[in-house]
Chains A and B, each alone.
Chain A
Amino acid sequence: MSTDHSAAADGHHDSLVSHQFNDAAQQKEAATLGMWAFLITEILFFGGLILAYTIFRNKFPMAWVAGGNELSWQWGAANTAILIISSLTMALAVHYAQLSQKKKLVWFLLATLFFGSCFLGVKYIEYSEKFEHHLVPGSFEYHGEYAGQVNPKQIEMFFFLYFAMTGVHAAHMIVGAGILVVWLIPAARRGAFSSEYYAPIEMFGLYWHFVDIVWIFLYPLLYLIGRHLGQ
């Protein structure tokens, strides 16, 4: 407990540590554990979709090949690289927050926002192509290399899951970008974070890296699964 000076009791100096915590370390431990409790729910949230994906892939293996080969593996690879770069810039943002280097913190948060937006831009291009080619559940048509061999209804199921999984993933990216724009970047510019207090940056980093991990699984599962059989 900070009994060394009365300023702490006024809540000025120690305002960075909420009164229910003994010290900054305990506060940070609680925040990290709480964030992980949230991320566990996220793992199971995406896990439900991955389970649905796997069940239907088991049931309709050729439809999964036909559907996956309609996606652009090049755009997918580009987006994987973009997301990994954004994870690096986010890790560096946390790093410079720990070192109280405000300018570099702001710069790397902006870089993370930039690469996150690039990812969403590529996603927009991909979705547009799918709409143009009627590869969208609801008004679905399939004229690919497996036409006549695979039930288009089953391929439609693949695209339903493709849009559900990548859509929910993109929604997480949009939420992340929103948090950067309305909260973290302005606060970092104000100088709200330092080596004494950077929990919001670190917790947001956990969220951002988690969304990266989801994509690390989505990319091979959706884009690459049938490549060895195609062409």
Chain B
Amino acid sequence: MSDTTQNHGHADHDDHHIVPLSVYITIFLALMVGTALTVWVAFIDLGELNIYLALAIAVTKASLVLWYFMHVKYSSKLVQLASVMGFIWLGIFLSFTFADLNTRDWQPLEGWAPQPVNEYDVDGAAAHGGGHGEAAEHAPESH
């Protein structure tokens, strides 16, 4: 019960919180710099790192918008929790799907052969067997 009162008191206080203009301007400039940065690094070949760097910058920018423009910083604990929960559920959604997808090829069953997706799919099916038609034909025979 005391928790509720505390939370309410917190919200009551911050309801009248006026964020100084300088905060908005600073966040705006940071977002612009972040945009320039994400374009700049996109053209540098960092291999696998490119996507992670792009996402790291995007997450940073999104957090700034969330925390300052959307006033989550100045909101009650309850609103802060709610605002983070959506992203946590999204994380579960994405990570569980990929935990499944990325582990499907671990244990080929007897007679299992990668099915060629199509003639262009050089890095997929062909990488396992050499040629598409061959992979599909020979793999079952080898068992």
A residues contacting B by CB (< 8 A) are 24-26, 28-29, 32-33, 36-37, 39-40, 42-44, 47, 50-51, 54-55, 58-59, 61-62, 73, 77, 80-81, 84-85, 87-88, 90-92, 94-95, 98-99, 149-151, 153-154, 202, 205-206, 209-210, 212-213, 216-217, 219-221, 224-225, 227-229
Contact = CB atoms under 8 A, between A and B. Distances in A.
Most buried by B among A36, A50, A85: A36
Contacts of A213: 62, 65-66
Contacts of B94: 47, 50-51, 54
B13 to A, nearest CB: 9
A29 B80 CA distance: 11
Given A36-B79, A154-B120, A205-B70, A28 B85 contact: no
27 contacts: A26-B11, A28-B11, A28-B15, A33-B79, A33-B82, A36-B79, A36-B82, A43-B86, A43-B87, A47-B90, A62-B123, A73-B42, A84-B32, A84-B35, A87-B31, A88-B28, A90-B69, A95-B18, A95-B24, A151-B121, A212-B65, A213-B65, A217-B58, A217-B62, A220-B38, A228-B42, A228-B43
Contacts of B78: 29, 33
Contacts of A217: 55, 58, 62
A153 B82 CA distance: 40
B42 A227 contact: yes
Contacts of B106: none
Interface of B: 8, 11-12, 15, 18-19, 21, 24-25, 28, 31-32, 35, 38-39, 42-46, 50-51, 54-55, 57-58, 61-62, 65-66, 68-71, 75-76, 78-79, 82-83, 85-87, 89-90, 93-94, 97-98, 101-102, 117-121, 123-124
Given A39-B86, A81-B32, A149-B120, A225 B51 contact: yes
Most A C-beta atoms less than 10 A away, residue of B75, B83, B119: B83
Contacts of B12: 25
A73 to B, nearest CB: 7
Task: Give the dominant DSSP class at B's interface.
Answer: helix
A87 B62 contact: no
A99 B11 contact: no
Q: Which 3 A-B pairs have the closest CB atoms?
A: A40-B86, A224-B42, A151-B120
Name the prevailing secondary structure of the A interface residues: helix
Nearest to B94: A51
Contacts of B98: 54
Contacts of B61: 216
A47 B89 CA distance: 10
Nearest to B53: A220
B77 to A, nearest CB: 11
Given A216-B58, A220-B42, A225-B54, A95 B65 contact: no
Contacts of A90: 69
B82 A47 contact: no
B123 A61 contact: yes
Contacts of B70: 205-206, 209-210
Nearest to B11: A29
B43 A77 contact: no
B38 A44 contact: no
Contacts of A212: 65, 69
A228 B87 CA distance: 29
Contacts of A32: 75, 79
B45 to A, nearest CB: 4
